[in-house]
Copies of this chain bind each other. A is one copy, B any other.
Amino acid sequence: MRALIVSGAPSGASLTARLADDAAATLRTEGHDVDVVRLVEVGWNPVPGPGDYGIEAFTGPLGDAAEGALLAGTLSPEVLRQQALLGAADLLVLVYPLWWYGMPAVLKGWVDRVFTQGFAYGLHDADGQPRKFGDGAFAGKRGLIVTAAGDRESAFTPRGVTGGIDDLLFPVTHGLLWYTGIAPLRPLTLLGVDTPLWEGFDAARSRLRERLVGVWEEEPLPFRRLLEDYDGARVLRADLAPGREGFGAHLR
């Protein structure tokens, strides 16, 4: 199998950078092909510009420009290279520190630039139905988030002050991975990490290794499917999780 590891670590010395290296080593030891993109080290530019799509200036929606460029073969080599890596991968691993409860900009901008319309979204099946949320361009792939955050573990529990960690990661597990057809695995979250010398690091490395060894057999998060579980207005059918609201209602 083939894995793509994308690291949003702020430097090679940071804890998440070491975890990304570790993940690559583990997957290679297991006999897999591994690509690693260390975004800060390669100087990744996180801001899409007209040059991404071979145009001089934006005059309409970015998505349309991207789709036009895909069809015309004018997507920039920088974007095409990342799309090729993503397209070839059976497993996508996103490794990053949680900054302000989201991805660092460098990783968010990898998503913004690489997951283009026509390539990652905006697809339809033979019946004209949208292929998203459980189906999509990347159906058959698996996705794992590995993230580290500073607040203490109890703050991330379902009634903790930061909000529950599963809910905080929902825009990525459900809104990015599941949206594009990638089966999201349970995120590996390291909480209470307030220094690179954090005492839980060795245990975290072991947890990561174990997860990666079993990554092909693990049961993904059981999110619901758009065409089966939601009505024509894209609202969860009344007979499913009746009366429930919140992100958790989207799990079977």
Report which A residues bind B (CB closer than 8 A): 10-11, 13-14, 40, 46-48, 50, 57-63, 99-106, 108-109, 111-112, 115, 133, 150-152, 154-155, 157-164, 167-168, 170-171, 174-176, 179, 194-196, 226, 230, 233-236, 244-250
Contact = CB atoms under 8 A, between A and B. Distances in A.
B246 A158 contact: yes
Q: How many copies of this chain does one complex carry?
A: 2
Contact of A161 (B104, B236, B244): B236
Contacts of A108: 99-100, 102-105, 108
29 contacts: A10-B47, A10-B48, A11-B57, A11-B58, A13-B58, A13-B59, A14-B62, A40-B47, A46-B105, A47-B104, A61-B195, A61-B196, A99-B112, A100-B112, A100-B179, A101-B176, A103-B108, A104-B112, A105-B108, A105-B112, A108-B108, A151-B234, A152-B234, A159-B236, A159-B245, A160-B235, A167-B246, A168-B171, A245-B246
Contacts of A109: 46, 104-106, 109
Given A101-B171, A171-B100, A163 B46 contact: no
A103 B105 CA distance: 9
B10 A230 contact: no
